């Protein structure tokens, strides 16, 4: 029969191991900071998913008795996340801050873009809400990298014309050399393929939006495998949060795919998805979307840019 002294002895051993682990983690972090300085001097990206995946594969091959592979992934995902954070990723929490602009009037769009340029790393211009789309009145005036989106109605957009016309404006945006064009994975395959073939200086975001639910993790991973068969520069999967578990599912999804070497944007929409918008950058999401103070949000649950920055300041300590 176990005695109290046995429990005390076991706890003493655990305490000693914890001190050793902490000392090793502290030494590891000192090396991580040196790596960050070298990367900065070499102008190298902080986030290296291939390196993280290589480390994880090596760790999972270690002969261990008690830790499961899932537990190892959980532990080292946190270590990798903190390491990137300390090395000084973009906006400190590892992603670009994008301000989305959704207006029906071109003059109002220009005004909002001028304000957003002072706050954002990148801006998103939603063409689908404009009463008249005249790219020559908008695209030459941007002061920041720009995403051009012409969202179809099936995925929360407002464009009322034919699909050929919707894609026409995206192709015209490519001619202007905008930084990114967003194209929906569920859109017409011939039109999508033609657009993706007109790369030039423009990069492409291949996107998927579910305004009803967040699919189970297995289905999200299957969707991911299908989407990355199409060559794009960034992959965006956004779902609707009906509860907190949905946000956790998206964070698990991000953790699973971050080792694939692809840039991914993922979070949940809706009020119950706000926590995922806040935490997604810490799990590898490439971009966070916000709206200007007092402006229209472009998706339910979207935070104001000031709110997001204040939250990130807290996370950064």
Where do the structural domains in the chain lie, given as residue ranges?
A: 16-87, 96-316
Which is more confidently placed, 300 or 240? 240
pLDDT tens-digit series, residues 154-202: 999 999 999 999 999 999 999 999 999 999 999 999 999 999 998 888 9
Q: Is the pLDDT of residue 2 over 80?
A: no
Mean pLDDT, all residues of the chain: 89
Mean pLDDT on 94-103: 88
Q: pLDDT band for 316, please (50, 70, 90 cuts).
A: low
Q: Does residue 179 contact residue 146 with C-beta atoms inside 8 Å?
A: yes
Query: Tell me, what's the pLDDT at 317?
Result: 60
Q: Does residue 217 contact residue 252 with C-beta atoms inside 8 Å?
A: yes
Q: Does residue 205 contact residue 183 with C-beta atoms inside 8 Å?
A: yes
CATH of 16-87, one of 2.40.30.170, 1.10.8.420, 1.20.59.10, 1.10.645.10: 1.20.59.10
| Residues labelled as active-site residues | 209, 236
Mean pLDDT on 200-222: 96
| Dist. CA 293–CA 310, nearest whole Å | 13
Q: Does residue 94 contact residue 282 with C-beta atoms inside 8 Å?
A: yes
Selection from 258, 307, 303, 306 nearest residue 285 by Cα: 258
Which is more confidently placed, 88 or 260? 260
- Kind of pairing, strands 146-149 and 303-304? unpaired
| Dist. CA 23–CA 20, nearest whole Å | 5
Q: pLDDT band for 94, please (50, 70, 90 cuts).
A: low
Q: Is the pLDDT of residue 47 over 80?
A: no
| Dist. CA 156–CA 144, nearest whole Å | 25
Q: Is the pLDDT of residue 44 over 70?
A: yes
| Dist. CA 196–CA 202, nearest whole Å | 10
Percentage of the chain with pLDDT > 90?
A: 54
Q: pLDDT band for 87, please (50, 70, 90 cuts).
A: confident
Answer yes or no: CATH 3.20.20.70 is held by domain 96-316: yes
Q: pLDDT band for 270, please (50, 70, 90 cuts).
A: very high
| Dist. CA 215–CA 221, nearest whole Å | 10
């Amino acid at each position: 029969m176990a005695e109290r002294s046995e429990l005390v002895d076991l706890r003493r051993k655990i305490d000693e191991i914890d001190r050793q682990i902490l000392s090793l983690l502290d030494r590891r972090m000192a090396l991580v900071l040196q790596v960050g300085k070298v990367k900065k001097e070499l102008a190298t990206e902080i986030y290296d998913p291939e390196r993280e995946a290589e480390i994880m594969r090596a760790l999972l091959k270690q002969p261990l008795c008690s830790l499961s592979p899932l537990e190892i992934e959980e532990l080292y995902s946190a270590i990798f996340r903190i390491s990137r954070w300390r090395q000084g990723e973009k906006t400190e929490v590892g992603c670009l801050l994008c301000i989305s602009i959704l207006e029906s009037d071109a003059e109002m769009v220009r005004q909002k873009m001028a304000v957003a340029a002072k706050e954002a790393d990148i801006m998103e211009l939603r063409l689908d809400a404009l009463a008249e789309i005249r790219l020559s009145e908008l695209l030459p005036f941007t002061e920041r990298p720009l995403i051009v989106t012409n969202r179809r109605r099936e995925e929360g957009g407002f464009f009322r014309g034919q699909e050929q016309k919707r894609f026409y404006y995206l192709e015209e945006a490519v001619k202007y050399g905008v930084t990114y064009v967003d194209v929906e994975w569920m859109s017409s395959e011939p039109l999508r393929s033609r657009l993706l073939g007109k790369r030039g200086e423009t990069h492409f975001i291949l996107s998927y939006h579910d305004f009803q639910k967040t699919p189970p993790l297995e289905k999200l991973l299957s969707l991911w495998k299908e989407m990355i068969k199409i060559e794009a520069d960034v992959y965006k999967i956004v779902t609707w949060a009906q509860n907190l578990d949905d946000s956790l599912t998206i964070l698990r999804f991000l953790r699973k795919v971050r080792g694939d070497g692809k840039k991914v944007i993922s979070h949940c929409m809706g009020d119950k998805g706000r926590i995922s918008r806040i935490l997604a950058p810490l799990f590898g999401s490439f971009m966070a979307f916000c709206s200007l103070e007092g402006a229209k949000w472009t998706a339910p649950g979207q935070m104001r840019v000031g709110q997001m920055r204040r939250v990130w300041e807290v996370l950064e300590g």
